[in-house]
């Protein structure tokens, strides 16, 4: 098992064991996520999340443009993605729509970048053989 898979697995095991062992870690008041009103704190949260969510996007676009894995560190994307999953859970605990939405998008971008890295790395190894 590669190192990044072990890190993700360890994070998931900790998350699941936390859910199983403590009632306070279970999300409460999830119905608040679907209320129609928007508060100022949520608007600020959405704006702040916009910048941090798309931080990995330029690297992904550059990698796709040059069709090469050069300059990309997949561990960074995998680690960020794993911890953003914890941010999603935290957002559910505090019933914060901005935290949940932006981190779902960020997880998708980070794991897409890791997947693109793996794809281009495999293609580069096939060319060199």
Per-residue pLDDT tens digits for 16-41: 655 555 555 555 565 665 566 667 77
pLDDT at 110: 84
> How many helices and strands in the chain, by DSSP H and E?
5, 0
Per-residue pLDDT tens digits for 59-79: 788 888 888 888 777 788 778
Domains of the chain, CATH where assigned: 3-128 (1.20.1280.290)
Whole-structure pTM over 0.85, yes or no?
no
pLDDT at 69: 80
Between CA 49 and CA 41 the distance in angstroms is: 12
CA distance to 42, 46, 107, per residue, from 33 (Å): 11, 14, 20
Q: Over the Cα atoms of the chain, what is R_g?
A: 18
């Amino acid at each position: 098992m590669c190192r990044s898979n072990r890190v993700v697995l360890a994070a998931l095991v900790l998350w699941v064991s936390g859910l199983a062992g403590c009632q306070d870690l279970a999300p409460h008041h999830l119905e608040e996520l679907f209320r129609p009103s928007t508060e100022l704190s949520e608007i600020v949260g959405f704006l702040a999340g916009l910048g941090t969510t798309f931080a990995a996007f330029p690297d992904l676009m550059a990698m796709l443009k040059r069709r090469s894995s050069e300059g990309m560190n997949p561990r960074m994307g995998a680690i960020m993605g794993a911890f953003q999953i914890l941010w999603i859970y935290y957002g559910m605990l505090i019933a914060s729509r901005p935290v949940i939405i932006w981190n779902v998008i960020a997880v998708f971008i980070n794991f897409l970048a890791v997947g693109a890295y793996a794809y281009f790395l495999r293609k580069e190894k096939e060319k060199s053989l």
